[in-house]
Amino acid sequence: MGNTARALASIVGPCWLAVIGATVSRSQWTTGGDLTHGSLPFGADPDYGRLLQILRASHSTTSWWRAQLDAHHDPLSRGVWALALLSIADGPVVHDCLAELDAVVCTPPPALATTLSSSA
């Protein structure tokens, strides 16, 4: 999944589609592919292989989700964060992050708001 997400990003650039791979059942699939040392899952140059790996590893860690949101303020990172939270985070994590999710969903740029609404 990681290399597929990276290939997609190399063709179309950073995008929402990479999160789809992370939503597949954790017990059904493993995240494969190479990772760039020191890469980040969000930001201006996200490593989608890293994103998939860390989303699956952090699905139950509220502090990680909050730290990522605090560290990334660009619209794409925040939108991907929201979609990933709803797609893969455990229920208690989503519950703990509802205020942050509300802020992200209620304040994105218009184009991202439309995309997020149609993706959910």
Give the model's pLDDT for residue 108: 66
51 token code pair: 């994103």
Give the number of other Cβ atoms within 10 Å of residue 20's Cβ.
17
The model's pLDDT over 54-112, given as tens digits with 9 standing for 90+, comes to 888 899 999 999 999 999 998 888 888 998 898 889 999 999 999 999 998 888 677 76
Residue 64 sits in which domain range? 2-119
* Count of domains forming the chain: 1
Burial of 6 (0-12, 13-18, 19+ CB in 10 A): buried
Distance in angstroms (rounded) separating the CA atoms of residues 38 and 115: 30
Give the model's pLDDT for residue 23: 55
Contact 100, 70 (CB under 8 A): no
Nearest Cα residue to 4 out of 43, 31, 39: 31
The overall average pLDDT reported for the chain is: 80
DSSP output for 50-85: HHHHHHHHSTT-HHHHHHHHHH--SHHHHHHHHHHH
Give the model's pLDDT for residue 115: 75
